[in-house]
């Protein structure tokens, strides 16, 4: 008799306030472990110059996004600045089923939504070193 064990990947949700450092940490983690899966978010906003569909975001029309909601295709989705963003189940599940750990960069509310659907997920919330440093980072961006 023979059998094989297949590892199921672990789903991590990384959240932080804007300017909290999650993008920097995520980049470092992915550089250290290229096998770490990452789910590209879906959005209804138009692509910015240089953005590529499927690499930067999965871009959908409002009607397409509505249909994905009806199909329950998202682990979570939300309105942000008059647009919608979401995490597609098929992308995350394909990575996890292949045995790859997946990290998501989403807000706390989305993380709690995922935790309800995937109790085995791991939620991580990053705090900035101090409120002063957070303010400095946000003012330095001149966009938030």
Q: 102 φ, ψ to 5°?
A: -125, 140
Q: What is the mean pLDDT of each run of 10 residues along the chain (144 residues)?
A: 81 87 87 91 94 94 98 95 95 95 91 95 88 76 56
82: left (phi over 0), alpha (psi -120 to 50) or beta: left
pLDDT number for residue 139: 77
pLDDT number for residue 141: 63
pTM beyond 0.85, yes or no:
no
pLDDT number for residue 143: 52
pLDDT number for residue 142: 60
């Amino acid at each position: 008799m023979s059998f094989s064990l297949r590892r199921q990947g672990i789903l991590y949700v990384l959240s932080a306030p804007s300017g909290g450092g999650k993008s920097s940490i995520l980049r470092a983690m992915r550089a250290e472990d290229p096998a770490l899966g990452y789910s590209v978010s879906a959005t209804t906003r138009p692509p910015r110059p240089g953005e590529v569909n499927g690499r930067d975001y999965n871009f959908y029309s409002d009607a397409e996004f509505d249909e994905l909601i009806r199909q329950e295709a998202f682990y979570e989705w939300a309105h942000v600045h008059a647009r919608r963003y979401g995490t597609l189940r098929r992308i995350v599940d394909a990575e996890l089923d292949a045995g790859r750990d997946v990290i998501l960069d989403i807000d706390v509310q989305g993380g709690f939504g995922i935790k309800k659907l995937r109790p085995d997920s791991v939620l991580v919330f990053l705090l900035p070193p101090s409120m002063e440093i957070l303010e400095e980072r946000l003012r330095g961006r001149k966009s938030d």
